[in-house]
Amino acid sequence: MLEIIVYGAVTSAIYAMLAIGFTLIFGVARILNLAHGAFYALGAYATFFLTSVGLPLIPAAALAVLFVAGFGVLMERYLVRPLRRSQLAVLMITLAVSLAVEQALFLVFGSEYRNVPSFVGDKLTIGGVDVSGQRMLALAVAVVVLGGLWLFIQRTRLGSAILAISQDAEAAQYMGIPSDRIFSIVMAISAGTAALAGLLVAPFLTVQPSMGLLPMVKAFAIVIVGGLGSIPGSIMASLLLGYSETIVAYLGSTSWTELVSLVAVVLTLLLRPAGLFGRRAAF
């Protein structure tokens, strides 16, 4: 039972970090960013590359997050912004970016699995359960990031501007809030959190060019279950899916865990199409 609690918490935290950025950009800009999984993969690969050329792990991770955040801003500015009036066009261009990133990683790094060094090499024993220190670090960082993001949105002027844009972008613009700059900032946050999730799990998961596909599917499932644009809904859905998958893996087989997201999405669409906390406003 304790193993399910511990490993379920780690899985849920990683899912929440993935989904929160996806939810944030939808809640503010009303776009579905299909390149979100590419941010996750770029975070892991950027960390691998920087450490392979001799940079210490922590500075490499920080630079990787900044690089991916900057990549997200450039993508929003030059690819997404001109097409924002058409949701279909945004879906297509973000999908194209995702495929381009995957192919670029394949051409540069090859199809071989890559190893990213662990930030914490030791194991921890919690109530008789051995857990890798890297997994516990991922859990701790996710909790801090999610809490910090909530405080940023709720307690700062920039966060108030993000809230205003999410509720009524046109009215906020009339009030002097620069919506384009807010969209860029939100995209940077979204890309940065996805990259951070990628580099935190890279030491104990597979790092290969197509690694962004499954996290993208998970993030999409979470925001459907939690409600598009709802941060509390995304966190609740992350807990639901994370623990459900952990229970299925322990009681059955890991090969069945991927069905959990599918079942959750189908049930949500049938019973509560708006999701657990679905509403128009983002937060």
pLDDT (0 to 100) of residue 281:
43
Q: Is 11 helix (H, G, I), strand (E, B) or coil?
A: helix
CA-atom Rg of the chain in angstroms: 18
pLDDT (0 to 100) of residue 279:
56
Q: CB–CB of 15/261 below 8 Å? A: no
Q: Is 129 helix (H, G, I), strand (E, B) or coil?
A: strand
Closest CA to 24 of 178, 173, 244, 222: 222
Distances in Å between the alpha carbon of 133 and those of 62, 142, 195, 203, 269?
19, 14, 20, 11, 38
Q: CB–CB of 120/137 below 8 Å? A: yes
Q: CB–CB of 213/35 below 8 Å? A: no
| CA 113 – CA 227 distance, rounded (Å) | 35
pLDDT (0 to 100) of residue 84:
86
Q: CB–CB of 46/64 below 8 Å? A: yes
| CA 276 – CA 184 distance, rounded (Å) | 28
- Report the alpha-carbon angle 32-38-139, nearest 5: 95
CA–chain centroid gap for 60, Å, is: 19
Closest CA to 200 of 135, 113, 125, 148: 135
Please report, for the chain, the start and end positions of each structural domain, with discontinuous segments joined by +.
2-210
Query: How many Cα atoms within 13 Å fall on the side-chain side of residue 98?
Result: 23
pLDDT (0 to 100) of residue 231:
83
| Residue-level pLDDT, tens digit, the chain, 283 residues | 778 888 889 899 999 999 998 989 988 888 889 999 999 999 999 999 999 999 999 999 999 999 999 999 999 999 999 998 898 999 999 999 999 999 999 999 999 999 899 998 888 777 777 788 899 999 999 999 999 999 999 899 999 999 888 887 778 887 888 888 999 999 999 999 999 999 999 998 889 999 999 889 899 899 899 887 788 888 999 999 999 998 998 888 777 888 888 889 898 888 888 888 765 444 5
The conformation of residue 118, written as its DSSP 8-state character, comes to: P
- DSSP-assigned states of every residue in 43-79: HHHHHHHHHHTT--HHHHHHHHHHHHHHHHHHHIIII
